[in-house]
Amino acid sequence: MGSAARLTELPAWRALTELRGGFEGRTLRALFAEDPGRGERFAVEVLGLHLDYAKNRIDAEVLARLLELAEQSGLRGQIDRFFGGEAVNTSEGRAALHMALRAPRGAAFAVGGRDVMEDVHRVLAQMTGFSEQLRSGAWRGHTGQPIRHVVNLGIGGSDLGPRMACRALRSFADGPQVAFVANVDGADLAAALDGLDPAETLFVVCSKTFTTLETLRNARSARAWCLSALGDEAAVARHFVAVSTNAAEVAGFGIDPANMFEFWDWVGGRYSLSSAIGLSLMLAIGPERHREMLDGMHAVDEHFRSASFGENLPVLLALLGLWYADFWAAETHAVLPYAQDLERFPAYLQQLDMESNGKSVDRDGAPVDVPTAPVVWGEPGTNGQHAFFQLLHQGSRLVPCDFIGFARSNDECEDHHDWLMANCFAQTEALAFGKTEDEARAEGVPPSQLPHRRFPGNRPSNTLLAERLDPATLGKLVALYEHKVFVQGALWGLNSFDQWGVELGKALATRIGPELRAADEQALDHDSSTNNLMRRYRRWRSG
Amino acid sequence: MGSAARLTELPAWRALTELRGGFEGRTLRALFAEDPGRGERFAVEVLGLHLDYAKNRIDAEVLARLLELAEQSGLRGQIDRFFGGEAVNTSEGRAALHMALRAPRGAAFAVGGRDVMEDVHRVLAQMTGFSEQLRSGAWRGHTGQPIRHVVNLGIGGSDLGPRMACRALRSFADGPQVAFVANVDGADLAAALDGLDPAETLFVVCSKTFTTLETLRNARSARAWCLSALGDEAAVARHFVAVSTNAAEVAGFGIDPANMFEFWDWVGGRYSLSSAIGLSLMLAIGPERHREMLDGMHAVDEHFRSASFGENLPVLLALLGLWYADFWAAETHAVLPYAQDLERFPAYLQQLDMESNGKSVDRDGAPVDVPTAPVVWGEPGTNGQHAFFQLLHQGSRLVPCDFIGFARSNDECEDHHDWLMANCFAQTEALAFGKTEDEARAEGVPPSQLPHRRFPGNRPSNTLLAERLDPATLGKLVALYEHKVFVQGALWGLNSFDQWGVELGKALATRIGPELRAADEQALDHDSSTNNLMRRYRRWRSG
């Protein structure tokens, strides 16, 4: 179904290949001149998300063919099976049903015929109860002090989502201070614990299996830090909770199983922000704000499931991305939030997109014959303007961009916000339309500088605008990109829900770890480069 | 000299084009099998930096031709003119002589025949004096309290370098806490000031011209915050200092000109970490540690200037990067520090590389006929492994990587560090050698999973290893990448020291800013997309 081999044989694909050929030289300048109404036509507003996609290398014909491609690829059926709880994660035989996590009570989500909504709301109620206890001060540390600091220990999906969201919703945080530690590098834990009082600190250990190397090492070191101050093994149960499914390991660590928050094999790590993995976020902003975020996600889930493709935000973003990746050979996609509080949103999307669709083999095991996920990258505007925007404007690479901005600030501060957004709009305009040598000359640019001060333009972007960065809006943005990634994976025929590509490095590290600690003279039988590096490491290490 | 038009006509370029053709199918597996000694041969250790570049798609022949390309392009002469203080920034008629900033007294650096070393050491002495006063508590705030918090206000080069370095050298910080605010988004300043006491806070305003939109708005809002607490205009002189050249504006702001730290037009923003822009860093780590960093940079400057190309670290890294960008169509370059404290190093390198060489026109104004700077991106390992490494291993993109690691930790914590570095080495091994279907089958992988659990390998990387992340080593790393970027710019014939590409967006923002604040009905005459977005913004904004 919709595997890439078929994708490139669809009539719409062939039509797009032809249209692409005819697009050479049709710049955004020309397209806007031809059709001055395209600004209104290529814009859609849904659920308070305003998407402007007029500054793309498309015309009505291209858009129509892209939408046909989606229809012809069987996307509609794939969406139905996805929402229907079928095992869309084929290589592992699992569903991917994160939409159930944010659905209201009574919604119909089932996996293999078994309703999951009761489980979902049971865990949400458990999270809510714990959050209320901790936030009210009813939950106390071992010495009777209230908890003022929470440290989330997790990596990948157990880190990037709640970390991104805690920063994004900084203005809504009224609970304990939350810090995040992911890296096995001792520097990460040391920096986070610096200045904290163990008596006032709670650790949330997030690991589905409770065996993740980085997280468990950090958890054990945090446990030692805690006990070296509090002295009593019983303290662990007051200062550690777990988000996991491995009750035996959790209990063995010293955590009260009543404080283990569960999720399920149909929740992938990178799709887990709306699961119990969001506990640290809920502790920071409270259950009500957290529910607003879930409701925002749910609203986009319903939109995605039901809207026609031509007005369907995730589908539109996905098709535009595919157009650049497969027909224009764009290797990257920049995400540029004009909101400092979204500073980790690009890093969050890196995992979401690149771990889901950074694959070259389709669900049936056949090679995909077109490029798949791009490298996703970005930093907040206006900062990026003073860093890498030079390349976006005048470099040799085609980098399609998503600009994300808000009409109102959560930190009203003179005219800062208008200047922030003036820059956002100005950048999309400058990228699209550039400046000719004639225009530069007319402005008085000296002849020797003209080639350097010319801007080729024709550099595409989307702009996503919303009223305010609040929990509901953040939820909508997350679900929007989740489903964009789903659509692209569906069209390419990928299984977006496995991640076998991380296994080999893990296995090799398990072998190398003990070898690094062995005596200098112990022989190594890796390749000569890895051997050489390991020897150098050992020599320095043993000083 | 060395313009790109000539580059592609050099004999070495033609030889490389042929070699590239013959390289199809010669995998890293095959190359290591052919030549088991390549691990030792393609490694070089200089100044305590160990570079392994054996896991690249090169053989001795390719390397020899790349080195010839450097010779034939006139790189040696370009290096001499660069160090000689000639106006290598041709479009602006300026030198780019950041090497003088870290040279010892008595070194011979001159711009236009005028020695600059006296100026350099005068400002360093001024910085040292101020740092000692502030760090010792002799410098007091307006109410007599010592300064416990420093907030650096700057953007681009006035932010990324000191921000990166302050985090990198966290373990060496024994002065005031330093925070960084760059974005005009009020959220950035609000988050940084949250919890700070104006009576104990010093602002370092970094803007060469003292007119940068973001920085000056943040400075004015910080000034208001300061005065709303301290009440007295005279407080400004005790709580604000400037890194700038605009004495009139600085004095007008209320800063004592004695506390203006100068730099010069031969210091580009992205090359300014070793200038007075490093003041916040010096306040954090002290003048002695800061000098160690400068000495590390200087050591690499001297290495770069004098070493033969075959042992010259910046030249080797530059040639390998050019090989992938121009002969293998790699669009990106990943920087993966296995050190959490280097978490902002990729963002720092983004500006360094993409703003320097993200250009398509050579120094003479002619189009460059090959791809130039890649998109630089990355996150620390091991975090990235749980995010985007899936794409590196099994995706459809060729992403050359730099792995950076250290043999000793600044935060000894059980076995964390060995596991960190075991992962680093394992990833380079997994990327290079992959895993065949036969190997997976032999491990018992079920047939249906085989295509998903096969790793194509042949994915290149460099590994940079040093003993410890300390000030001198950080300085070496920074200078290494600075000169790598110089070499690539020199070969492509670019002026790596201007950044005209940022001007157009700035100009358009200046126009849009007041329009956003105007009445809803005021007509707009941008393109229909920008108009539409601005109207949406205005409606939401006015509620």
Residue of chain B whose Cα is closest to the Cα of A498: B452
Partners of residue B241 on adjacent β-strands: B204
Query: What's this model's pTM, rounded to 2 decimal places?
Result: 0.98
Return d(Cα B164, Cα B349) in angstroms, integer: 10
SS3 assignment, position A488: helix
Q: Please tell me which of the candidates B36, B332, B385 has its beta carbon nearest to residue A505.
A: B385
Mutual angle of helices B60-72 and B471-492, in 10-degree steps: 70
Distance (Å) from the alpha carbon of A118 to chain B's nearest alpha carbon: 30
Tell me which of A448-457, B4-13, B155-164 is least confident. Answer: B4-13
pLDDT in tens, B148-159: 999 999 999 999
pLDDT score for B21: 96
Cβ within 8 Å of B, A 204-233: 213-214, 217-218, 220-221
Interface test with A, best of B180, B388, B392 (most A CBs within 10 A): B388
The label of the residue with tokens 């550039």 reads: A434
Question: What is residue A412's three-state secondary structure?
Answer: coil
Checking A24-27 for CB contacts under 8 A at 24+ apart, the result is A26/A57, A26/A59, A27/A457, A27/A458
Question: pLDDT tens-digit profile of A81-90?
Answer: 999 999 999 9
- B422–A36 CB contact, under 8 Å: no
Peptide bond into A530 cis (omega under 30): no
- Contact call for A456 and B360, based on CB within 8 A: yes
Cα separation of A35 and A287, whole Å? 48
Across the range B355-369, mean pLDDT stands at 96
Alpha helix (H) residue ranges in B102-245: 117-136, 160-168, 186-193, 213-230, 236-239
Q: What is the DSSP string of A450-461?
A: GGGS-B-----E
Element housing A152 (H / E): strand A149-153
How far apart, in Å, are the Cα atoms of A74 and each of B219, B224, B331? 55, 59, 32
pLDDT band at B520 (very low <50, low <70, confident <90, very high): confident
Alpha-carbon distance of A480 to A313, in angstroms, equals 7
Between CA B408 and CA A543 the distance in angstroms is 9
Going by their DSSP bridges, the two strands B110-111 and B49-52 should be labelled as: unpaired
Pick among A34, A152, A390, A541 to test the B interface (most B CBs inside 10 A): A390
Cβ atoms of residues B119 and B252 within 8 Å: no
In Å, what is the CA distance from B144 to each residue of A276, A474, B239, B259? 49, 44, 11, 18
Residue B85 has pLDDT above 90, yes or no: yes
Q: Cβ of A504 and B455 within 8 Å? A: yes
**CA–CA separation, A351 and A341 (whole Å):** 19
Of the candidates B360, B429, B537, the beta carbon closest to that of A394 is on: B360
The pLDDT assigned to B542 comes to 87
Give the residue from A533, A540, A542 with the most B CB atoms within 10 Å of its CB, the best one to mutate. A533
User: Is residue B22 classed as helix, strand or coil in its secondary structure?
Assistant: helix
Q: How many CB atoms lie within 10 A of CB A522?
A: 10
Contact B533, A463 (CB under 8 A): yes
List the 66-95 stretch of A: residues with Cβ below 8 A of B: 91
Q: Are B391 and A377 an interchain contact pair (Cβ–Cβ within 8 Å)?
A: no
Between CA A365 and CA A93 the distance in angstroms is 15
Does the distance separating the beta carbons of A416 and B184 come in below 8 Å?
yes
Residue-wise pLDDT for B451-470, tens only, equals 999 999 999 999 999 999 99
d(CA B156, CA B501): 14
Nearest CA distance, A395 vs chain B (angstrom): 4
pLDDT band at B48, cuts 50/70/90? very high
Please count the residue pairs, one from chain A and one from chain B, whose beta carbons lie less than 8 angstroms apart. 532
Catalytic amino acids of A?
355, 386, 506
3-state secondary structure string, B30-83?
A: HHHHHCCCHHHHCEEEECCEEEECCCCCCCHHHHHHHHHHHHHCCHHHHHHHHH
Sign for the CA dihedral angle at A434, A439, A441, A444 comes to: negative
Chain B residues with CB inside 8 Å of A221's CB?
413-414, 416
Instruction: Supply the pLDDT for residue B543.
Output: 78
Under an 8 A CB cutoff, do A425 and B534 touch? yes
Secondary structure of A14-57 as H, E, C letters = HHHHHHHHHHCCCCHHHHHHHCCCHHHHCEEEECCEEEECCCCC
Span between the terminal Cα atoms of chain A, in Å: 58
**B99 CA: distance to closest CA in chain A (Å):** 21
- Structure-block tokens of residue B168: 């990198």
Closest CA in chain B for residue A344:
B379
Measuring CA to CA, which residue among B327, B325, B458 is closest to residue B392? Answer: B458
Is B386 among the catalytic positions? Answer: yes
Name residues 227-266 of chain B within 8 A of A (Cβ).
none
List all residues 6 or more positions away from B479 whose beta carbon is below 8 Å from its beta carbon: B102, B296, B297, B298, B299, B300, B301, B304
Look up B355 and say whether it is catalytic.
yes
DSSP character at residue B455: B
8-state DSSP, B325: I
B435 among known catalytic residues: no
Catalytic residue among B386, B416, B429, B467: B386
CB B373 within 8 A of CB B488: yes
| List of residues 6+ apart from B518 with CB closer than 8 A | B538
- Please identify which residue in the block is written with the tokens 């290490």: A541
The per-residue pLDDT for range B210-247, each reduced to its tens digit, is 999 999 999 999 999 999 999 999 999 999 999 999 99
3-state helix, strand, coil in chain A (%, to 5): 55, 10, 35
Contacts with A217 from chain B: Cβ below 8 Å: 414-416, 419
Query: pLDDT at position A455, please?
Result: 97
Segment B117-137 mean pLDDT = 98
DSSP three-state, residue A435: strand
3-state secondary structure of A443: coil
Q: Does A504 touch chain B (CB under 8 A)?
A: yes
Tell me the CA distances in angstroms from A316 to A166, A210, A313, A322, B126, one per residue in order: 28, 38, 5, 10, 57
Q: Can you tell me the distance from the alpha carbon of B212 to that of B209, in angstroms, rounded to the nearest whole number?
A: 7
Go through chain A and tell me how many residues it has: 543
Beta-carbon separation of A395 and B511 below 8 A: no
User: Distance (Å) from the C-alpha of residue A107 to the closest C-alpha of chain B?
Assistant: 31
Is residue B456 a contact partner of residue B430, using CB atoms and an 8 Å limit? no
Predicted confidence band of residue B506 (pLDDT cuts 50, 70, 90): very high
Contact criterion met (CB < 8 Å) for B91 and A338 = no
Q: Residue B386: which of A155, A331, A500 has the nearest Cβ?
A: A155
What are the CA-CA distances from residue B454 to residues A527, B24, B428, B450 (Å)? 19, 20, 16, 6
Report the pLDDT averaged over residues B360-372. 96
The predicted pLDDT at position A543 comes to 78
Q: Which helix (H) or strand (E) holds A363?
A: none
- Assess whether pLDDT exceeds 80 at residue B534: yes
| % of chain B residues with pLDDT over 90 | 96
User: What are the chain B neighbours of A502 within 8 Å (beta carbons)?
Assistant: 385-386, 389-390, 393
Residue A156 has its nearest CB partner, among B386, B411, B511, at B386
- Give the pair of three-digit tokens for residue B457: 């390998």
Q: What are phi and psi for residue B51, nearest 5 degrees?
A: -110, 120
Query: How far apart, in whole angstroms, are the C-alpha atoms of residue A404 and residue A412?
Result: 18
CA distance A343 to chain B (A): 10
| Of A422, A416, A408, nearest in space to A467 by CA | A408
Which residue of the set B292, B355, B379, B482 is catalytic?
B355
Give Cα B420 distance to the centre of its chain.
Answer: 23
Q: Cβ contact (<8 Å) for B509 and A371?
A: no
Return d(Cα A179, Cα A460) in angstroms, integer. 37
Tokens representing B446 are 């079920």
B354 contacts A390? CB cut-off 8 A? yes
pLDDT for the residue numbered A542: 87
- The two structure tokens encoding residue A59: 């015309």
Q: A470 touching B, CB under 8 A? A: no
**What is the ipTM, given to two decimal places?**
0.97
Per-residue pLDDT of chain A in tens (543 residues, 90 and over written 9): 434 448 999 999 999 999 999 998 899 999 999 999 999 999 999 999 999 999 999 999 999 999 999 999 999 999 999 999 999 999 999 999 999 999 999 999 999 889 999 999 999 999 999 999 999 999 999 999 999 999 999 999 999 999 999 999 999 999 999 999 999 999 999 999 999 999 999 999 999 999 999 999 999 999 999 999 999 999 999 999 999 999 999 999 999 999 999 999 999 999 999 999 999 999 999 999 999 999 999 999 999 999 999 999 999 999 999 999 999 999 999 999 999 999 999 999 999 999 999 999 999 999 999 999 999 999 999 999 999 999 999 999 999 999 999 999 999 888 999 999 999 999 999 999 999 999 999 999 999 999 999 999 999 999 999 999 999 999 999 999 999 999 999 999 999 999 999 999 999 999 999 999 988 778 999 999 999 999 999 999 987
